[in-house]
């Protein structure tokens, strides 16, 4: 196929590609040489942002155009050419996403242990600058304790999601790379596991739609400034 495919692509927080360290410039076209091989050679991306998230090495997400020879699989594509159109630092969005997925998991499992829910509340206060790293770490520890006390596997998993979400970047400055990686790890692991456990395409579409809307809104806000 040769038509243009709009897709999503995460790069490292310094703007470089994980595989070779090349820093791609917004608006510039990059091309692959030699035969395209999925996961090995080519300009990769995903049509859905939720799919792109599982391949992320940082929190910098880009809207890209892909064209030329294009190979497409359900969760990713490999193209001859790729051009980044714009980008958003999605660190905060991924923290919020992790909280949302964790809360869905808690509801799905019917968890009522307040320690789990308090961990989510602490994480949201931390995001708003109303809680310290120590406060967040304490809430995370309490959520882990709740997971250990859980008598059934579903509650264990749900509490674990809550702990992961609460733990994201607890001891780090959110602007540092490690914090961005922690945010991605919490969001990615929780989103993928929750979607699989629910075995529900609707849930995956809901998460993908929310992420897409939040990133697009962030981009629009930056453009309007």
Structure tokens at 54: 């599982």
- Give pLDDT tens digits for 180-224: 333 334 444 444 455 444 445 677 888 899 999 999 999 998 888
Among the residue ranges 65-79, 108-122, 186-200, the one predicted with the least confidence is 186-200
- What whole-number distance in Å separates Cα of residue 205 and Cα of residue 50? 9
pLDDT reported for residue 127: 87
Checking if the pLDDT of 137 tops 80, the result is: yes
Share of the chain above pLDDT 90, in %: 38
Most confident of 31-40, 154-163, 168-177, 200-209: 31-40
How far from 41 is each of 10, 20, 61, 71, 78, CA to CA, in Å?
Answer: 17, 11, 21, 11, 8
Chain length of the chain: 225
> Could you write out the DSSP letters of every residue in 55-79?
T-SSSEEEEEEEEEEEEE-SS-EEE
Share of the chain above pLDDT 70, in %: 75
């Amino acid at each position: 196929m040769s038509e243009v495919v709009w897709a999503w692509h995460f790069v490292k927080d310094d703007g470089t590609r994980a595989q070779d360290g090349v820093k791609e410039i917004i608006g510039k076209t990059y091309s692959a040489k030699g035969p395209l091989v999925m996961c090995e050679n080519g300009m990769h991306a995903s049509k859905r942002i939720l799919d792109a998230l599982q391949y992320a090495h940082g929190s910098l997400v880009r809207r890209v155009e892909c064209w030329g020879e294009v190979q497409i699989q359900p969760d990713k594509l490999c193209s001859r050419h790729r051009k980044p159109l714009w980008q958003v630092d999605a660190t905060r969005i991924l923290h919020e996403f992790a909280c949302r997925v964790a809360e869905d998991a808690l509801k799905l499992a019917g968890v009522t242990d307040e320690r789990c829910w308090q961990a989510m509340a602490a994480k949201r206060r931390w995001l708003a600058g109303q809680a310290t790293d120590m406060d967040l770490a304490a809430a995370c520890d309490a959520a882990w304790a709740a997971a250990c006390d859980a008598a059934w596997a579903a509650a264990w998993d749900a509490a674990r999601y809550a702990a992961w979400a609460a733990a994201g970047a607890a001891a780090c400055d959110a602007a540092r790379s490690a914090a961005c990686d922690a945010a991605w790890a919490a969001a990615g692991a929780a989103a993928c596991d929750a979607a699989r456990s629910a075995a529900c395409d609707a849930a995956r579409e809901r998460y993908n739609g929310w992420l897409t809307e939040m990133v697009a809104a962030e981009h629009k806000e930056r453009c309007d400034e």
